Structure 1
Amino acid sequence: MFRTIIHPRVSETDGVGHINNTTIPVWFEAGRDGIFQMFMPDLSFDDWKLVIVNMNIDYVRQLFYGKEVEVFTWVKKIGNTSFVLYEEMYQDHQLCAKGTATYVNFNQKTQKPEPIPHPIREQLEAHLFHEHEIRDGSRGEST
């Protein structure tokens, strides 16, 4: 599991007083840096390997400016050329958003998917989310 802290900005707050719904996907992406580094250790766009092909978000509670947000990122499923992430976002120990994102290991030169290399697969497996785990419900951490 990866844990990322987000500090909401005034510019991300909408006219109703909560964080705008278009900001949540950006914050979830910020929580994926550890995943990106597995495939591109220097995070260079010269040989970027990952393309997102699907994202789903459930908005559970409003998020507000002035209080930090925790983003938790797990690997939910690993296929031959793709993997699915499961993500949760918390503020004040309350689940505010959750979702999934599917990425494909993609060769930009050939414009084709490639199998996930075994060493990277092992790294992804270290962050697998197990549905049967009991989570404490306050921070998304396994107990």
Structure 2
Amino acid sequence: MYQTIIEPRVSETDGVGHINNTTVPIWLEGGRNKLFSLFNPDLSFKDWKMIILKTTIEYKQQIYFGRNVEIKCWIKRIGNSSLELYEEIWQHDRLTVQANTIYVNYNVHENKSEIIPNEIRKELEQHLYEEGLNGQ
């Protein structure tokens, strides 16, 4: 599992006193930085590989300013050229968000997907999600 701690900002808080739902996808993306580094070690957008295809987010509880959140990211499935992530956001021992996201390893110059290289696949396999053993 990949873990990232985020400190909520005042500007992310909405009029009803909790973190705005539009902030959550940005935080989830922040939890993927280690994955981006696997596919793009120099983090250059010139040859960016990780293209998002789909994301679904389920809001479980409200998130508040003043307490850090923890983003947890597992690999749920590895295909030939795509991978599915299972992600959670926790705040103060409470599961607040669950998400599933699909990315494809993509060659922007040739405008087509590419097979995930074996060395990256091996690293991804170390972070596989096993239902009942990880998270909730």
With structure 1 as the length reference, what TM-score do the two structures score? 0.93
- The match for 1:103 is 103
- 1:132 is aligned to 132
The answer to whether residue 7 in structure 2 is matched with residue 19 in structure 1 is no
Aligned-partner Cα distance in 2 for 1:70–1:100: 16
Q: 1:74 & 1:52 partners in 2: Cα distance?
A: 16
Task: Give the Cα separation in 2 of the matches to 1:134 and 1:16.
Answer: 32
- Structure 2 Cα separation of the partners of residues 39 and 114 of structure 1: 11
In structure 2, the gaps of 5 or more residues are none
Give 1:65's aligned amino acid.
F
Runs of at least 5 residues in structure 1 that lack an aligned partner in the other structure: 138-143
Q: Percent identity?
A: 51
1:77-108 superposed Cα distances (whole Å, 9 cap, x missing partner): 00001000000000011000011110000000
Q: Displacement, 1:134?
A: 5.8
Q: Secondary structure at the match of 1:37?
A: helix
Alignment of 1:42-57 (within 5 A): 42-57=42-57
Q: Output aligned runs, 1:1-143, within 5 Å.
A: 1-133=1-133, 135=135
- RMSD across aligned positions (CA): 1.0
Could you say which residue in structure 2 is the equivalent of 1:140? none
Structure 1 stretches of 4+ moved >6 Å: none
